[in-house]
Chain A
Amino acid sequence: MKRYSPLLTLRLFLLWVFLLGWGFAIYHGPRGISNNVLIPESFPALFQVGPAIVKLLLSPSLQWGVFIGAIALAIIFLATAVFGRWYCASLCPMGVLQDFSLRISRKVFRNVPKQRFYHPRHYIPWILLALIAYGLLRGSSLLYTFFEPYSVAMRPLFLSFEPIVRKFAYHSFASDFQSLTGAILLVSALWLLGLLLMAAIRGRFFCRHLCPVGAILELFSMNPVWKLKINPSQCVACRKCESVCRASCVDPLRYFIESKRCILCFECVSLCPTGAINYLRTNEPLLVGETRGESEFRGHHLVNRREFLKSLSVLCLSVVWILLEPFSRRNSKERAEVLIGAYKRYVAFPPGAESLLALKSRCVGCGLCQIVCPSGVIQLSIKVQGFSHPALPGLNYSRGYCQYECRRCMVVCPTGALRVMPLEEKKKLKIGISRLIRSRCIIVRHGRPCGACAEHCPTGAITLEVVSDRARGRRRNMPEPVIHESLCIGCGACETVCPAKPTRAIYIEGLEVQEKIQGVSQANPKLPGSRRDFPF
């Protein structure tokens, strides 16, 4: 006997707008590629609490993106304080995936275990949250990668859908298996599948036990203005609401729904046979003659002072712990050298990362930059930094090269790990240096005029010049590539297009600290016209 609940409809509407909107944005994004406009793919990610907090707390400078993140956070927190944790059921991708999983399992299997109310253990998420923050400051996103809901849910989706997006939206598909994202996709996908399997059996397992974002939202939803309430005079104690509650927050025997855990899925509202559960103002008495004090008392056996103080003290301790971190930090340059191994220093990072250390402390490895990159040069890989940062984006020039007139990765980055800068500034940002292996070059080796590298170089850093051959002590007639390092920005066009086989003759050595190239003076903007009428 299902009751029509407009609130459930509203939630599903929000959810589908969010999901379909995002999918549409990612699919249609490539059609809107322009040199300098807003990017639709970035909007849904802006409203993710985890990345927005990272952006707000860890951004080195006040930039436009930080304000947007702060506004998004303020909206979500305020709405949580008023309406409860609606975010978890309609905007959180991990929550949505878990709901899908539970729904499917309820459709397929008859005897999915019933949910039971239980006393929450609030410390695990808080300890996780503190560890995640500490890890990010130490330059490790390992815990974030596997425990922050946005990152956990979206990375496997982005990485596994990337080939499809490349095929159908970009109409360009790197068909070789080397270019597929490997280990990190496998590990993340298995982790996500495991969590969804738990959700299929136990409801919102992840949200109840692990989610650090949920822990933050709990703070705001302890005493919301509106919440779900059971009317004792109507309740027949059938416990249907309890058995269906995916957050395990309904205690029908005490006529109590714990608002800080309730994610407002409204399932119980539509299932209650007597219509006893309603979304009402918190301080509105339910029973005739019941005072406000009595109705509050019913809920107070869980949100008591001791429990609140415990949570608060864990929070304070972790904040102190985190705030102490910058003082213990040594020279950043020194650490960056310690942390990267010999073979790793060749990897270049997406523009705007500023430095390896900065990127490591702010990137959460969600993979959004990889899926919006028009050339596909950005690729998350465990090979870039190893296990301390398993999903760090590096530039894989065998997939493509960093487009000179593009800054999509910076604009979409939800955590501000890639600093947004004007396009003109980005064009002068040096992310690596081009190196030539002369003996492999087609011009030197085969004596054929190739020049593909010089052809693609957007800054004129590679020119074809006749150079003296020191080894043979004579000048060769064939002009060969010469790299002018002061002009090179490390976009990798030369490496991508170099036709030398089996290994390319030119490669990019990534920079640890991205820098500006010396200002390129614009050539004479006047257009000289030719005097002669017809030159032939």
Chain B
Amino acid sequence: MRQEVEKKAEERQDLVTRRTILRGALWTFAMLMAHPIIPFRSYVGASSNPSQEERTMREKSLLVAVKGGSYEERVDRAIEALGGINRWVNKGSRVLVKPNIGWNVPPEGAANTHPRVVKRIVEHCITAGAREVIVFDHTCDSWQAAYRNSGIEEAVKSAGGKMIPGNSEDLYEKMKIPRASTLKEVKVHGEYMNADVVINVPILKHHSGAGMTCALKNLMGVVWDRGFYHLHGLDTCIAEFSLVRVPNLTIVDAGIIMKTGGPRGNPKSVFERQDMLIASSDPVICDVAAAFTLGKRPEELGYIEEAANLGIGTNIMDKVEVRRISI
């Protein structure tokens, strides 16, 4: 009796059943997808070699500027005007929100993105069904202190996001940028490359070295060796870094802006209340709008033009649809 059962089982194993075929197909598919030559992470191919069509598609973008109201209201209105966060964040996607947390300075110091802005954005992402919302910055000051005292750690945690460290070299991956002239190789934080959606949330402020820090400059916070930038020319490196990956969405906090003494701010810094928020999927036009807000001309800032020439975005206001919202 028992032998018969075993024999039958053996025979069944030799048979090519539907199940075996399906299983084999599944394995083949999985092996193929796991192979490094398959561009499984589609963005790597797309963003490092963007075709002109794709660029123009993106360039027909929208610039939203919201003035007045509270931090949360501005974020809500801007995202609404852009067509809702669902345009970028799908159900189950991993979202990286990258604010500026460079300094161990309280929110009043306007050196870091305001925690209320970050919190609202994280909440939007989670409402849209994001699987995980992660937040980090490669801080200048000691990172735990900066995370905590900027108020961002608490804001992110209460909104359901996750703070991760960014100050250890082993978190960074080496990336090659073939199109770059100076920044040919750069160590980028792994999460910046792996996240499905990147939302860049800079704060607008004066910067002693680069003139102004906003959308493009904020991406220096996902790079390991910033000394290289300083050594080989800030403007070129800042512009060329975006060839690695352009953030899907840029939301600029211009609530209180630091007019002098940036980026850290010192006891003599001058601040100005703007109560503004600028948002677009194009970081370059965000920087142009930000430059006007700070009282500078975009031509003064070398990296804006260089980035536009590389096709990362446009620096011409007329090419985009500007939607101004006053609350």
**B72 CB to nearest chain A CB (Å):** 20
Determine the distance from Cα of A170 to Cα of B227 in the docked complex, in whole angstroms: 21
- State whether B231 touches A501 (Cβ < 8 A): yes
The number of chain B residues with a CB under 8 A from chain A is: 54
Determine the distance from Cα of A505 to Cα of B307 in the docked complex, in whole angstroms: 30
- State whether A404 touches B141 (Cβ < 8 A): yes
Comparing B18-26, B79-87, B118-126, B258-266, the segment that makes contact with chain A is B258-266
Interface residues of A in 445-480 (CB under 8 A from B): 448-452, 454-460, 463-464
- State whether B208 touches A448 (Cβ < 8 A): no
Residues 504-536 of chain A, each 1 if its beta carbon lies under 8 Å from chain B, else 0 = 000000000000000011111001111001111
**B114 CB to nearest chain A CB (Å):** 14
Determine the distance from Cα of A26 to Cα of B288 in the docked complex, in whole angstroms: 46
- State whether A522 touches B267 (Cβ < 8 A): yes
Report if A406 contacts B (CB, 8 A).
yes
| A452 cross-chain contacts in B, Cβ below 8 A | 209, 226-227, 230
**A141 CB to nearest chain B CB (Å):** 28
Determine the distance from Cα of A497 to Cα of B231 in the docked complex, in whole angstroms: 11
Given contacts A35-B149, A172-B167, A460-B268, whether A499 and B143 have CB atoms under 8 Å apart is no
**B286 CB to nearest chain A CB (Å):** 11
- Which residue of chain B is the closest to A31 with respect to CB atoms? B144
**A339 CB to nearest chain B CB (Å):** 33
- State whether A523 touches B268 (Cβ < 8 A): yes
**A485 CB to nearest chain B CB (Å):** 15
| A380 cross-chain contacts in B, Cβ below 8 A | none
Residues 44-79 of chain B, each 1 if its beta carbon lies under 8 Å from chain A, else 0 = 000000000000000000000101000000000000
- State whether B168 touches A35 (Cβ < 8 A): no
Interface residues on A, range: 35 or more
- State whether A530 touches B266 (Cβ < 8 A): no
Determine the distance from Cα of A405 to Cα of B145 in the docked complex, in whole angstroms: 9
**B162 CB to nearest chain A CB (Å):** 14
Report if B234 contacts A (CB, 8 A).
yes
Determine the distance from Cα of A524 to Cα of B272 in the docked complex, in whole angstroms: 11
Residues 162-190 of chain B, each 1 if its beta carbon lies under 8 Å from chain A, else 0 = 00010111000000000000000000000
| A374 cross-chain contacts in B, Cβ below 8 A | 142, 144-145
Report if A173 contacts B (CB, 8 A).
yes
- State whether B264 touches A458 (Cβ < 8 A): yes
Given contacts A171-B167, A450-B231, whether A33 and B267 have CB atoms under 8 Å apart is no
- State whether A35 touches B145 (Cβ < 8 A): yes
Report if B140 contacts A (CB, 8 A).
yes
- State whether B231 touches A500 (Cβ < 8 A): yes
Could you say which of B148, B231, B274 has the most chain A C-beta atoms within 10 Å of its C-beta?
Answer: B231
Report if A231 contacts B (CB, 8 A).
no
Determine the distance from Cα of A457 to Cα of B304 in the docked complex, in whole angstroms: 25
Determine the distance from Cα of A173 to Cα of B224 in the docked complex, in whole angstroms: 13
**A462 CB to nearest chain B CB (Å):** 8
- Which residue of chain A is the closest to B207 with respect to CB atoms? A455
- State whether A406 touches B288 (Cβ < 8 A): no
| B144 cross-chain contacts in A, Cβ below 8 A | 30-31, 33, 170, 374
Determine the distance from Cα of A374 to Cα of B234 in the docked complex, in whole angstroms: 28
| B148 cross-chain contacts in A, Cβ below 8 A | 33-34
Given contacts A35-B145, A172-B167, whether A530 and B264 have CB atoms under 8 Å apart is no
Given contacts A454-B208, A535-B293, A536-B322, whether A33 and B271 have CB atoms under 8 Å apart is no
Residues 237-275 of chain B, each 1 if its beta carbon lies under 8 Å from chain A, else 0 = 000000000000000000010000111101111111111
Interface residues of A in 230-281 (CB under 8 A from B): none
| A375 cross-chain contacts in B, Cβ below 8 A | 141-142
**B40 CB to nearest chain A CB (Å):** 28
- State whether A499 touches B269 (Cβ < 8 A): no
| B271 cross-chain contacts in A, Cβ below 8 A | 527
- State whether B273 touches A460 (Cβ < 8 A): no
**B267 CB to nearest chain A CB (Å):** 4
| A199 cross-chain contacts in B, Cβ below 8 A | none
- State whether B65 touches A536 (Cβ < 8 A): yes
**B240 CB to nearest chain A CB (Å):** 15
The residue that B143 contacts in the complex, of A172, A448, A450, A464, with Cβ under 8 A, is A172
Determine the distance from Cα of A384 to Cα of B165 in the docked complex, in whole angstroms: 33
| A460 cross-chain contacts in B, Cβ below 8 A | 261, 266-269
- Which residue of chain A is the closest to B170 with respect to CB atoms? A173
- State whether A459 touches B267 (Cβ < 8 A): yes
Report if B310 contacts A (CB, 8 A).
no
| B3 cross-chain contacts in A, Cβ below 8 A | none
Interface residues of B in 213-246 (CB under 8 A from A): 226-228, 230-235
- State whether B209 touches A449 (Cβ < 8 A): yes
Report if B279 contacts A (CB, 8 A).
no
Interface residues of B in 284-327 (CB under 8 A from A): 288-289, 292-293, 295, 317, 322, 324, 326
- Which residue of chain B is the closest to A447 with respect to CB atoms? B233
- Which residue of chain B is the closest to A35 with respect to CB atoms? B149
Given contacts A499-B227, A533-B67, whether A456 and B143 have CB atoms under 8 Å apart is no
Determine the distance from Cα of A463 to Cα of B269 in the docked complex, in whole angstroms: 12
| A536 cross-chain contacts in B, Cβ below 8 A | 65, 288-289, 292-293, 317, 322
Report if A175 contacts B (CB, 8 A).
yes
- Which residue of chain A is the closest to B275 with respect to CB atoms? A529
| A448 cross-chain contacts in B, Cβ below 8 A | 230-234
Residues 8-43 of chain B, each 1 if its beta carbon lies under 8 Å from chain A, else 0 = 000000000000000000000000000000000000
Report if A403 contacts B (CB, 8 A).
yes
Report if A442 contacts B (CB, 8 A).
yes
| B281 cross-chain contacts in A, Cβ below 8 A | none
Given contacts A171-B168, A375-B142, A455-B207, whether A530 and B231 have CB atoms under 8 Å apart is no
The residue that B231 contacts in the complex, of A30, A493, A499, A522, with Cβ under 8 A, is A499
- State whether A403 touches B230 (Cβ < 8 A): no
- State whether B234 touches A449 (Cβ < 8 A): yes
**B256 CB to nearest chain A CB (Å):** 6
The residue that B142 contacts in the complex, of A406, A455, A457, with Cβ under 8 A, is A406
Interface residues of A in 19-45 (CB under 8 A from B): 30-31, 33-35
Determine the distance from Cα of A460 to Cα of B208 in the docked complex, in whole angstroms: 10
**B226 CB to nearest chain A CB (Å):** 8
| B326 cross-chain contacts in A, Cβ below 8 A | 533
A sample of 28 cross-chain residue pairs with beta-carbon separation below 8 angstroms, ordered by A number, consists of A33-B145, A170-B142, A172-B142, A172-B165, A405-B145, A406-B104, A406-B142, A448-B234, A450-B209, A455-B264, A456-B140, A456-B264, A459-B267, A464-B209, A499-B226, A521-B268, A522-B267, A523-B267, A523-B268, A523-B270, A527-B272, A528-B273, A529-B275, A530-B274, A533-B67, A534-B324, A536-B65, A536-B317
Q: Shortest 3 CB-CB distances between A and B: which pairs? A: A451-B209, A460-B266, A499-B227
